[in-house]
Structure formats: C-alpha cells, structure tokens
Structure 1
Amino acid sequence: MIELADIQAAAARLHGQVMDTPCVESRTLSHITGAQVFLKFENLQFTASFKERGACNKLAQLSDEEKRRGVIAMSAGNHAQGVAYHAQRLGLRAVIVMPRFTPGVKVERTRSFGAEVLLHGDTLDEARSHALQLAAAQELTFVHPYDDEAIVAGQGTVGIEMLRAVPQLDTLVVAVGGGGLISGIAVAAKAIKPSIEVVGVQALRFPNMFNAVKHAALPQGASTIAEGIAVGTPGHITRAVIERHVDDLLLVDEGDIEQAIVMLLEIEKTLVEGAGAAGLAALLKEPGRFRGRTVGLVLGGGNIDPMLLAAIIERGMVRAGRLARVLVSARDVPGSLARITAIVGEAGANIDEVHHQRAFTLLAAQNVEIELVLQTRGRDHIQSVLEALHRGGFQAREQ
C-alpha cells in the first residue's frame, strides 16, 4: 500500500511543475459554518484542477519506451487535461477518451493541449473499456484517473502542502469520485498528523464508494452537476486506502452542491465546478458535524460549463429570495399595469420579466393575471413588495 515516502517522492518530482496553491482561511465561511474553514485553491492550477498532480507524477516515471509509444487516458475532463498538458510538455503522444456527456469547455481545453480526443460512451465505465481496447491495440500506456499508485501519490501532495501551510488543521473534507485524491491526502495527512480526521464527500446520485465502504445499497442516478466525481466503479487501490485511513463518508445532494458553488463565487470570488464544491456542500448541510473544528477544504477544480454556471447562479438567486416570481390579479382596464409596476418600483424591486395573461386563467373575464419576475434583496423584501401591492388594492402572491 502507498506510504508517505511515495508521496514525498512525488512532491519532489512535481516541484516546479505544478503550483503549490494557496491554503487560506475564509473568515466569512468560518462565520457561516461555525468552523474555522481553510480553502485549498486547486482551481488555480494551470489546468484548473488538482488532477495534473497525479498525471505529472505518473508521466514522469514512464520508461523511455513507454514515452516513445505514448499514453491514453479516459476522463470526464480534469484528468484528461492534466494528462494532455503534461504529455505535451514532455513531448508525448496523448489519446484521451471522454464520455459523450463531457462539458464542451473541458473537451476543447483538452484538445488545446494537443491531445487526440475521442468521445465514446455515456459513462466513465464505457469510456474506460474503449480506452483499454485502444491501449492494447496501439501499445499505449493507460493512465488511470485514480486507481494507480503513482496517481494517488501525486494527488497526495495536496495533503502535504495543506498541513505545511496550516499545521493546526484537525479535519480535512475531500470530494470522492474514484477516490484518488482522498486516498493520497489521507495517507499523507495520517502519517504527518495521526489525530487528524479525514472525511470524504460523495454526490448522492453517485454513492458508489459510500456503498462499497459502508456496505450500503443506495441507487445510482444518471447524472449530476458534480460530473467530476460521477464515478460508477470505485477503485480497488483507493477503496483499500479509504477503508483504512478515511474516517467517514458523507453524501450531498444537487441543491447542496449548487448552493456551495454560488457561495464560493459570491463570497470568495472564486469559480469551482460541482466536484470542487462538494466539501463546502457537506459543511453547509451538516454544520453541527464540523462546528468548532479547524477544517481544510479542497477546491478541487474550476472547469464548469458556462451555461450550467448561469443556470446554477439563477437558481441560487431564487433560493436566496433575490429572484422571485409574483402573480398579481387586476382589473383589465387601462393603467392597471402601470400602477402595478409603479408600486413595485417604489418598493425598491426591479422587474426582470412581465407576462400579461388573459386567456389561460380562471379569473373572471374582465380580470387579468400578471406574472412578474422580480430582482429583490431577499425574502423580507419580497414580503414588503407583496404588502405594498395589497395596500394598492391588488391581489398578489409569490409563486
């Protein structure tokens, strides 16, 4: 089994090749969660993900013959970019097999590093099977995204850096897909500071490591916004390490992850993808579990599709009450809409959309239903807008 010495050797190989990213406290998130929260900004790596650590460590140890033939990998994006970038830097041929659902931003970025990208299958397992066939046919070295000791050792350098930067950390919360990151971090952290608690976080829709380690049988979903940890089959190497060194595994739902993405963007001004926000999602979901602790979170990656991000931000505004849909019933006479918009404006809300509905309503024929989408300051502000409309003689409710 992998040991601290392997991770220290990886750290020596990676020196000058990957960034020693900042690990700093978020005072605002600390206040919100009741824990002292430190963030490890792996989304600042050149490929915007910790994945290039393992990829670089693996490629650096290939034989001359393996380097001549080239490498192949399967990935939903971040591992692909890590392999492609460091293969390009070392002058190696790289073939990357990606599932068809992979966000376009990750596909194009991978191609930009000179890799040959093939889209195949609807799952990581299908992409892996195709990649293994190509590896055998073309004599390419298969670079697994997580179930490889060199990969695990490379990812584990994150743990060494976190404890070097913040020795007082007593809890590490790490997203889990195949388990490469948390395995490496757990080995390093437990060797350096045996008392530290290591907690894994999986998406509820892809609880495969949770099921394996806790002997559960939770169903697997079809998709998640945390596609970076949407892994169907846990690694053999990583499962053994997790069972030995990881103290607990938690599950978070899609709404938890969306909330964490928006909070990191708004509070820390940093962009993370779904998998990168899973750790914070766990703190927000179970604050009592971490209250009073000194917690390190790994912001694992920042590669998120812009259209998905836009949808997440808008949904976050709805949850926070800063975007609201209000239905107003009024007499269908000239000036009614003008009076409604004037009242809303005087109450300090901004109108995003207006839908004037005459036909598709159960109101009397001489009445009209007006749907307003409003930008507000929050829940209390929505209520004050509704009260202002009521005082103006209109029936109004939030939908």
Structure 2
Amino acid sequence: MSPDRQPSLAGVERAAEKIAAILPATPLLPLDVDGKTIWCKAECLQPIGAFKIRGGWHRLTDLTDEQRSRGVVAFSSGNHAQGVAWAARKLGVHATIIMPEDAPQAKLENTSALGADIITYDRMSGSREKLAADFAEKTGAVVVPSFDDPWIVEGQGSCGLEIREQMLAQVGSVPDQIIVCCGGGGLASGTALANPDARMIVVEPEGWDDMKRSLELGTIVPVDKNPPATECDALQTMQVAQITFDILRDRNALGLSVSRDAVHHAMRVAFEKLHLVVEPGGAVALAAILAGKVALTDRTAITLSGGNVDRQLFANIIAEN
C-alpha cells in the first residue's frame, strides 16, 4: 500500500480484474488505413467518456476506510476529474477537484453532475499540485494525482491489457506496436507494462510535447515557456512525472507531436469511419497515423482516449472541409 512503490504488471492485472468486475471492456475497432488494418481502442465510450475511470477506480478502491472518511482531492482539466468523481460517488467518498478555469464547459458540468466539489484556478499562473497539497493539508483529504501515482498507472494499464487480450482474440496475436495519446504518460506507461514486447509510441500536440522531448534528451524537461493555445486540453501537462517517464524511457518509447489540422482530420475520420465522437486530445494517436508519421504493421493498435468535447467545437470541426 506504500505510495512510493513502483507500478508493475501484477498491479495492472489486479486493476484489470477490479475494473472488469464493474465495467465491460470497451470495443477494439478495426480501421483501414493505407491498405493496413489498425485497431482502435474506443475509450471514448467509457461511462465518463475517457479512460481515466480506470485509474480513478483502482486508486479509490484501495483506500482504507479511514482514508475514505477523509475524502479525496484531485486535479485535472476534466477527464481524470470525472474518473475520480465517478469512483467517489460509487464508493460514497467525498471528492473535491481542482480544475483550470478554461476547462471545457462539458467537463466542468459533467464533473459537478457526478457530485464533486470544484475549485478552479488559472492554468498558466497557478500550481494545481500546490493547490491540492494545501487543500489536503487543511482538510485531511487524500491527494489522487492524475498520473504521478502507481495506482493510476496500473489502472490506466488495464486499457493496454484489454487491447492485448482483444487483439489475441480478434487477430490471433498480440499487438507489436501501440500508439498512445499522451499527457502525463499514465496511459502510455501503464500500457507499456501490459504489453512488454510491443513498440511504444506516444503522441502529443505541438507545443505541448514535453514527453517527446524528454525521451529524446533522456531526462525530464518541462513544456517551453509560453506554449501555444491548444484544443487538446486533456494533454496540457506542464511536466511529466518520473514514474511515467522512467517506464517509457526504459522501453525506448518514441515520442511524436501533431498539428491542430492533423487532430481535426483525425476527429473527422473517427466520426465518419468509426461513428465515434473523439475529443481533440483523444485523437492525437490517430492523427499521427493519418499524417504518415508512423510506419504501420499488421498488428498496430491505437487509443482513442476520450470523447468529452464541447458540442459546438465538435460541430465546427466536423463541418470543416
């Protein structure tokens, strides 16, 4: 139960058992791209619209009774917020979420509807980690980070384990390459643990590619000063964590970045070909493939990691030529 422990494959398997007991596996859908079939993990179809429900459930179900009585505090632009709020409501735990003022309205409303209290802050000038730590010190609440936590990594890794099992069932072999949307790297590092033989590729929006640059340099570096505005709010991590970086570095993961136009194109393809609503941050892995940045194999899998997008933004993007 030590928060200093390292995430493991055994932990991912335990998380997967816990999650399978309450949620069905999300579908792994085939998509033809340039004569190859890639396999798309539709995490946008989770009850909260994103994979973050996995880590939230794994973390909160391992709280002690005494910790549950004190409640939890998390920080997120919206998907982790909803994952923690969903798990907290189901377990009867009080949740407070630190969210940026510019978070999509849909994510703010959904988090509130799940019963969580929301505290907003300025993304560029405030520290969500400090706000959460101060709140925890004042109230006794347990901090539930969005990616810098072994339970969160293992919980997100259950997605990678499902991908592995579904490809084995549907294709007859496990994935040899997995492309993952990346903010703090929880989903990517957990998926790497679940698929020890697959090539790992992480994708971020341009200007927010700190994991890519960290992997290239071999040490953690933050996002550059004054990063550009991006619609990929779910991937606006200022600096990745040692726990996720170490796993991906040790796996020789490749980092890529994609443009706004590439993301919009991927969202339209997901809507037109797979009939899915995918948010910008959840479409970056597909964007990298459609932009020709990844050499495809016959056993390539990707994550469509979230679908929580404001309706007007989505309508505008889908209507683009």
Whether the TM-score (by the shorter chain) exceeds 0.5 is yes
Matched residues, number: 307
Q: Deviations over 1:103-129 (max 9, x none)?
A: 110001000011001111224962232
Q: In 2 relative to 1, CA 217–75 (structure 1 residues): closer, same or farther, beyond 3 Å? A: closer
Q: Deviations over 1:99-157 (max 9, x none)?
A: 01101100010000110011112249622321221111111100000010000000001
1:16 aligns with 2:25: no
In the alignment, the residues of structure 2 paired with residue 123 and residue 258 of structure 1 have an alpha-carbon distance, to the nearest angstrom, of 24
Pick one of 223, 239, 242 that aligns with 2:245. 239
Q: Would the aligned equivalents of 2:222 and 2:239 in 1 still touch at CA under 8 Å? A: no
In the alignment, the residues of structure 2 paired with residue 122 and residue 70 of structure 1 have an alpha-carbon distance, to the nearest angstrom, of 24
Aligned alpha-carbon RMSD (Å): 1.7
Q: Deviations over 1:232-275 (max 9, x none)?
A: 01111101111012531111111111110111111211000011
In the alignment, the residues of structure 2 paired with residue 117 and residue 185 of structure 1 have an alpha-carbon distance, to the nearest angstrom, of 30
Q: In 2 relative to 1, CA 217–6 (structure 1 residues): closer, same or farther, beyond 3 Å? A: closer
Which residue identity does 2:120 align to in structure 1?
Answer: L
Q: 1:217: how far off?
A: 8.7
Q: In 2 relative to 1, CA 218–3 (structure 1 residues): closer, same or farther, beyond 3 Å? A: closer
Q: Any idea what SS the aligned residue of 2:267 has?
A: helix
Which residue identity does 1:172 align to in structure 2?
Answer: I
The gaps in structure 1 that reach 5 residues or longer are 318-399
In the alignment, the residues of structure 2 paired with residue 81 and residue 160 of structure 1 have an alpha-carbon distance, to the nearest angstrom, of 22
Q: Would the aligned equivalents of 1:35 and 1:294 in 2 still touch at CA under 8 Å? A: no
In the alignment, the residues of structure 2 paired with residue 235 and residue 218 of structure 1 have an alpha-carbon distance, to the nearest angstrom, of 13
Pick one of 263, 270, 284 that aligns with 2:269. 263
- The aligned runs of 1:20-169 (5 Å cut-off) are 20-26=25-31, 30=32, 32-123=33-124, 126-167=127-168, 168=173, 169=175
Q: Any idea what SS the aligned residue of 1:250 has?
A: strand
Q: Which residue of 1 aligns with 2:3?
A: none
Instruction: Point out the more displaced range, 8-17 or 295-304.
Output: 8-17
Q: Would the aligned equivalents of 2:177 and 2:297 in 1 still touch at CA under 8 Å? A: no
Q: Deviations over 1:159-197 (max 9, x none)?
A: 11111110232211001100000000001101xxx2x21
Query: TM-score w.r.t. structure 2 length?
Result: 0.91
Which residue identity does 2:25 align to in structure 1?
Answer: D
Q: Deviations over 1:305-332 (max 9, x none)?
A: 1121122123x32xxxxxxxxxxxxxxx
Q: Would the aligned equivalents of 2:215 and 2:254 in 1 still touch at CA under 8 Å? A: no
Q: Any idea what SS the aligned residue of 1:105 has?
A: helix
Q: 1:295: how far off?
A: 1.1
Q: Any idea what SS the aligned residue of 1:14 has?
A: helix
In the alignment, the residues of structure 2 paired with residue 45 and residue 19 of structure 1 have an alpha-carbon distance, to the nearest angstrom, of 9
Q: Any idea what SS the aligned residue of 2:195 has?
A: helix
Q: Would the aligned equivalents of 1:171 and 1:296 in 2 still touch at CA under 8 Å? A: yes
1:4 aligns with 2:9: yes
The ranges of structure 1 where at least 4 consecutive aligned residues each deviate by more than 3 angstroms after the TM superposition are 216-220
The gaps in structure 2 that reach 5 residues or longer are 1-5
Q: Any idea what SS the aligned residue of 2:119 has?
A: strand
Q: In 2 relative to 1, CA 107–171 (structure 1 residues): closer, same or farther, beyond 3 Å? A: same
Greater relative contact order, per chain length (Cα 8 Å cut-off, separation 6+): 2
